[in-house]
A and B are shown apart, each in its own frame.
Chain A
C-alpha cells in the first residue's frame, strides 16, 4: 500500500468516526439518559426495552424514543417518539385557586438511595430519577405452572412547593407500558384551605410513532352489551379526524394505535391499546377538561393541553398520519385527618403531616404484536 493511499484511508476512517452520527437508536443519547433493559434479568434474554429520558423543568420526566424488542432475533419496534405529562391541573372545589402546576416550570426534585434503594433494584440516575428493575408479580398462572414477570420502572418527582408529583413509567417484559401519576405532599394550609377538596389532573401527551414515524392510525375500541339480550359486540372504529373523546366505562373505551407496516408472523396487524386506569373522571370549567382522550396530528408546538380545543379546530385528517394521543387522568383528593393537622410552635401555626401518595394512570398494551403468548415456555 502506498503511503498516500494509506494516509487517505486512515484519515478518512478517523474523520468518519469523528463526524458520523450515531449509527443506531441505542446511541441517540448519552449515559445516564440512555437506558436499556433485557428480560428476564437472569438467564437467556427474551425481550428488551431501550429508551432515552430527560427531565426539563416544566415537563417532568420525559421518555424519548422508547423501543421494544419482542425476541432476541426480532428488530426493535419503536413505540414513542416522546411521552410526558403535559400539565398538572389542580382546581379546588371552592373555585379558586386553580393551579397549572407543571407549566409553572418546576424541576424534578432530588431522589436519593432513601427513595431508590439498591436493595429493591433501584439505581439513582443524575440525582433526580430512580430506575428500578423489579419483579411485577404473576404474569400468568395455570395451577402449579406459573411465570412471574419483571419490569423496568423510571420515576421522578416534580417538586411543586407544598406538593410532590411522582411521574412514573413502567416498561414491562411483555411489552406493556404503564404510565402513572402520583400526588403527595402537604395540604395547602393558608386561608384554611387544608380542608378544601380538590382535584389533581394529569394530562399525558403520548407521541406514539408505532414502528417508526409514520403513518399511524387511531381506532376507538368500544364494547357494547346488546341488552336486554345476552350477547355483546365489540367494535374497533377508525377515528378519521382530530377529535376529543369521552372515556365511557360501560363501553370499555380504548384508543388503539395501528401502523400499516407492523404485523406479527401470523400476518395480523399489530397495535397498541391505550387503556385508562382511573378512579373517576373529572370535568371542570376549562374546555380542555371536557374530554378524557384527544387525538391530534403531530405539530411540534402543540405541547400543552390548554389549547387542545384549538388544536383540533378545524380538524385535520389523521386516518394515516403522524398522530399524538392525549389522556387525562384525575385524582380526587378529599382531605382527611390522615393528611395532617395544624400545630402551634415557634410562635406560629404550622401544617404538620404529609398526604400519602394517590395514583392514577393508564396502560398501553400490545395487541397482536407477539406471535403467541409472551414469556411462555
Chain B
C-alpha cells in the first residue's frame, strides 16, 4: 500500500526494488492457505516424510548390518517429537522406523532426525512387538484365500467375506507360532445389516513359513 502511494515518485530502479520486495509479502498475505500448509513441529508425518524416513533408515549401514540378508519388512514409521536442547526450544521432529526380521524373530529400530536428514540411533529390539505391515496383511489374506480347505469352508461365496486379522502372540514353545510372525484371520459378512463374524474356519497364517493352518477343535 505504501509503495502504491509513493510509487509515482519512484524512479524505475526503485520501482523494481519495490516489486521485488512487495511481491513476496503480498503473496504471503493473499495466499494464507499455502502458508497454513507448512508442517508444524507436532503435526503428523507427511507422506513425503514417511518415505524419506524409510529411505534413510533402509540405507543406513547400521540398519543394514543388523538386518543383513535376512528377510525383513518395515513394520511401522511413526512420528516422534523428541525433546529439544535447550528445553524451551521447539520439539525435534523425528520418525521411528521399525523393521521386523523374520529369520531370528527380532526387530530393528532406527531414529530419523528430519532436521539433520539423518539416522541418529539404531537398536536391535527383542521381546517387544513390531506392528504388522500392510503388505503382511495382504499376504496373509492372499495365502488364506488360496488355501483350498479355507475356500471350501467359506463356500461358494468366499469372496463376499471381509477378512479381519489379529496378531498371534505365542508364549508356548510348542506352539507353531512360537518365535514366528503369525496372524489369525476372522471372516465376517453383512447379515441383517450388521457385520457378523463366522465361527469357522479358524485360520492362522504363519508369515515366517508362508503357510496356512486351519485350527478346528
The answer to whether B129 touches A97 (Cβ under 8 A) is no
Chain B residues with CB under 8 Å of A212's CB are 87-88
Among candidates A104, A189, A301, A343, residue contacting B123 with C-beta atoms closer than 8 Å: A301
Tell me which of B57-65, B144-152, B167-175 binds A.
Answer: B167-175
Q: Is A370 an interface residue (CB 8 A)?
A: no
From residue B51, how far is it (CB to closest CB) to chain A in Å? 16
The answer to whether A348 touches B76 (Cβ under 8 A) is no
Q: Is A338 an interface residue (CB 8 A)?
A: no
The answer to whether A350 touches B196 (Cβ under 8 A) is yes
Chain A residues with CB under 8 Å of B43's CB are 29-30, 33
The answer to whether B90 touches A345 (Cβ under 8 A) is no
The answer to whether A14 touches B25 (Cβ under 8 A) is yes
Among candidates B76, B127, B215, residue contacting A105 with C-beta atoms closer than 8 Å: B76
The answer to whether B129 touches A103 (Cβ under 8 A) is yes
A20 to B37, CA, bound (A): 15
The answer to whether A56 touches B78 (Cβ under 8 A) is yes
Binary per-residue interface labels of chain B (56-97) against chain A in the complex, 1 for a CB within 8 Å, 0 otherwise: 000000000000000000011011111100011011000010
Tell me which of A58-66, A217-225, A357-365 binds B.
Answer: A58-66
Chain A residues with CB under 8 Å of B75's CB are 105
Knowing A7-B17, A306-B128, A307-B127, say if A59 contacts B36 (CB, 8 Å). no
Among candidates A57, A96, A301, A351, residue contacting B197 with C-beta atoms closer than 8 Å: A351
- From residue 86 to 116 of chain B, which have CB atoms closer than 8 A to chain A? 87-88, 90-91, 96, 109, 111
Chain A residues with CB under 8 Å of B79's CB are 54, 56
Among candidates A21, A101, A300, A352, residue contacting B90 with C-beta atoms closer than 8 Å: A21
- From residue 152 to 175 of chain B, which have CB atoms closer than 8 A to chain A? 155, 157, 164-172, 175
Q: Is A10 an interface residue (CB 8 A)?
A: yes
Chain A residues with CB under 8 Å of B129's CB are 100, 103-104, 304, 306
Q: Is A125 an interface residue (CB 8 A)?
A: no
- From residue 145 to 169 of chain A, which have CB atoms closer than 8 A to chain B? 160-162
Closest Cβ neighbor of B81 among chain A residues: A64
Q: Is A22 an interface residue (CB 8 A)?
A: yes
Interface residue total, chain B, C-beta cutoff 8 A: 69
Q: Is B202 an interface residue (CB 8 A)?
A: yes
Q: How large is the interface on A (under 10, 10 to 19, 20 to 34, 35 or more residues)?
A: 35 or more
Q: Is B184 an interface residue (CB 8 A)?
A: yes
Knowing A13-B25, A54-B44, A58-B76, say if A28 contacts B90 (CB, 8 Å). yes
From residue B192, how far is it (CB to closest CB) to chain A in Å? 8
The answer to whether A349 touches B164 (Cβ under 8 A) is no
The answer to whether B81 touches A97 (Cβ under 8 A) is no
Q: Is A237 an interface residue (CB 8 A)?
A: no
A105 to B133, CA, bound (A): 8
Q: Is A279 an interface residue (CB 8 A)?
A: no
The answer to whether B127 touches A345 (Cβ under 8 A) is no
Binary per-residue interface labels of chain A (81-108) against chain B in the complex, 1 for a CB within 8 Å, 0 otherwise: 1100000000000001111110111000
Among candidates A10, A57, A350, residue contacting B25 with C-beta atoms closer than 8 Å: A10
The answer to whether B217 touches A192 (Cβ under 8 A) is yes
The answer to whether A57 touches B131 (Cβ under 8 A) is yes
- From residue 128 to 145 of chain B, which have CB atoms closer than 8 A to chain A? 128-133
Among candidates A52, A64, A191, A213, residue contacting B87 with C-beta atoms closer than 8 Å: A213
From residue A33, how far is it (CB to closest CB) to chain B in Å? 6
Among candidates A18, A81, A98, A306, residue contacting B171 with C-beta atoms closer than 8 Å: A98
A82 to B132, CA, bound (A): 24
From residue B174, how far is it (CB to closest CB) to chain A in Å? 11
A151 to B20, CA, bound (A): 50
From residue B8, how far is it (CB to closest CB) to chain A in Å? 15
Knowing A28-B41, A105-B132, A350-B191, say if A97 contacts B87 (CB, 8 Å). no
A26 to B200, CA, bound (A): 52
The answer to whether A351 touches B196 (Cβ under 8 A) is yes
The answer to whether B40 touches A30 (Cβ under 8 A) is yes
**Which are the 5 A-B pairs with shortest beta-carbon distances?**
A105-B131, A103-B129, A350-B196, A29-B42, A161-B164
8 pairs, A vs B, C-beta closer than 8 Å: A14-B21, A30-B36, A56-B44, A99-B166, A101-B167, A285-B171, A300-B82, A347-B155
> Residues of B with Cβ closer than 8 Å to A?
13-14, 17, 20-22, 24-25, 28, 36-44, 75-76, 78-83, 87-88, 90-91, 96, 109, 111, 121, 123, 127-133, 155, 157, 164-172, 175, 184, 186, 189, 191-192, 194, 196-202, 215, 217
* Given pairs A29-B40, A350-B196, 6 additional interface contacts (CB within 8 A): A22-B90, A57-B76, A82-B81, A190-B202, A306-B127, A343-B191
